[in-house]
Each structure stands twice: as structure tokens, then as C-alpha cells.
Amino acid sequence: MFDQLKNSTRTNIICIFGHPIEHSMSPIMHNIAFKDLGLDYIYIAIDIAPNNLKQAFDVVRALDIKGANITVPHKKRTLQYVDEISPIARKIGAINTIKNEDGKLIGTNTDASGAKKALKEANIDINEKNVMILGAGGAARALAHSLIEETNNLFIVNRTSNRGKNLARELTKEYHKEVLFKKFKNKIFEEKLPSIDILVNTTTIGMFPDIHISPIPKNYLHDDLTIFDIIYNPLETQLMKDASEKGCRVLGGLDMLIYQGVLSFEWWTNQTPNVELMKKSILDELEVK
């Protein structure tokens, strides 16, 4: 990973903060893109516990780290630790990317655009569809804001009521369109899934290393359902495997990861990376595993 460094005293550092973080493929795709363009940058993954998040951003300023990606569980809390928030990140209420401009930290969100691009490239039409989103964290917020204006009905399903209800209430108020919240229970899937066109999983259920679990029992899935699981490690989650066997259309999270990463990369460097090279680097890594 370090063979692209030219001068360690001048190398620009980009990092990703999360907890846990060992599953992240972001360092692989960004470092190969930096090397491909001859940029003196390096991207590193850092595990930051929630109670250390403020100190992490103090370190970003102190060490002049040029930027960062933010992942689970920090996307919402990061709002309070940056100096400026882009309109889209403020609207979503979550940050997944920051840029350090002479000690001023600016936060934005590229998840929404990345997700929409992934759906578009897969020819998945969301217009007038009934959509169910599992989860109510930062990724769920981004997906909900990016999809709601084109959907027919939007349902938020989450394990904890407060977060799910708050998201549904915010969306209803923002878009003047009723968004319903339901508690994460098998009964809800039994009752609601028959009328759902697109199911989006934004939870970490099924993510490496717990790759053999799924958020939804297989028997509730139906062949008119499209599954978008934003997990990318593994490439095919248990939910996706079950859905394929039931005749559903499936889309994993790799393309969303790539497209949101491209937007972050362009913001940090003012250069466009080789998208196919970034994607191949992750596919090669995951196939090795």
C-alpha cells in the first residue's frame, strides 16, 4: 500500500473513520486510484470508537489530514464536529465525507448520489414504486432523501422506534408526503412485503464477518421484489442469495461504494479517478478472500 509514497513529509493523508472498520475496502480502491494518477496521497482506515470521535477530528486539524470518509456509526454525529455543512448533508442529516481546507472542516454527503447512480446504472426504476428501507442511520437517511420524491410509498423499518419515527417524521415534513415507520418484526414483513416493489437494506446485518445471517426470513420474499443491499463485503449477502433463489432481482452495494467514492475523490483532489480500476481492485480483493 505504501509504495506510492513519494515524500513522507509532503504526502497528503486521507482516512476513513468507522467502528468497526476492518471490513472497509475504501483504502484499496482509493490508493490504487491515487497511484494510477501519480498523486502523492495515501488513504488509511482508522477504527474510532464513538466516544473518541471529537478527538479524531481534532487530530485531523492538528495533522492537516486533507480529508476523510465517515462510515458506521459516525455519519450523524459528525455533523457537530465540522465547521461547515453542505446543503445536501444538512438536508440528509448525515455526513460521509469531509474536506480539510486550511484547518476548516467541511462536511458533505455523497451516499445519496452514489446510491441513485448505482440504481440508474442497474436500470432499476424507482418511479411510483413502493419502497421499504431497513434501518434509520446515516445511509438510510441518504437513501430516503434520494428516493422519496420519485416513490409512491416509503416505509422505514428499524429496530429502535425513536430513530425510525424521527426519520419518518422529518421526511414527511420535508417533502409533504407521508412516510410510515414500522418496528423491525417478522409480522411487518409478512404483512407489508407483498405490496413492496423495492426493499433497501441499509443495516449491517449480513456484513462481514457475519455473512450467513439475513435481516428477513426467506419465506417472506417474493419474485416481484427488487432487493438493493448496500453491503458490499461480501459481494453477495445472505439476503441477496435468498432473494435470488426466490426469483427477486438483486443489486449489491459495490457500485454505490464506487460511485460515492468517486465523488469524494474528485472533491479532495479535483481529479477524476479510473472508475473501472477502482472497481476491479475491490473485486480482486474480495475474490481472494
Reported as a single tens digit per residue, the pLDDT across 152-173 is 999 999 999 999 999 999 999 9
Which is the catalytic residue, given 66, 75, 182, 192? 75
Tell me which amino acid residue 14 is.
Answer: I
% of the chain at pLDDT higher than 70: 96
75 assigned to active site: yes
- DSSP SS3 for 47: strand
pLDDT at position 50 is: 96
pLDDT at position 8 is: 59
Q: 3-7, 26-30, 228-232: lowest mean pLDDT where?
A: 3-7
pLDDT at position 288 is: 56
Mean pLDDT (the chain) is 94
Burial of residue 157 (CB within 10 Å: 0-12, 13-18, 19+) is: buried
Reported as a single tens digit per residue, the pLDDT across 83-132 is 999 999 999 999 999 999 999 999 999 999 999 999 999 999 999 999 99
pLDDT at position 1 is: 47
Cell numbers at 201, concatenated: 437494506
Burial of residue 257 (CB within 10 Å: 0-12, 13-18, 19+) is: buried
User: What's the average model confidence in pLDDT over 244-259?
Assistant: 97
Reported as a single tens digit per residue, the pLDDT across 20-36 is 998 899 999 999 999 99
pLDDT band of residue 192 (cuts 50, 70, 90) is very high
- Full 3-state SS string of 126-186: CCCCEEEEECCCHHHHHHHHHHCCCCCEEEEEECCHHHHHHHHHHHHHHHCCCEEEEECCH
Domains and CATH numbers, the chain: 2-109+255-288 (3.40.50.10860), 112-252 (3.40.50.720)
Per-residue pLDDT for 275 more than 60?
yes
User: What's the average model confidence in pLDDT over 59-82?
Assistant: 96
pLDDT at position 23 is: 87
**Residue whose C-alpha is closest to residue 199's, from 165, 242, 255:** 242
pLDDT at position 9 is: 66
pLDDT at position 2 is: 46
pTM over 0.85: yes
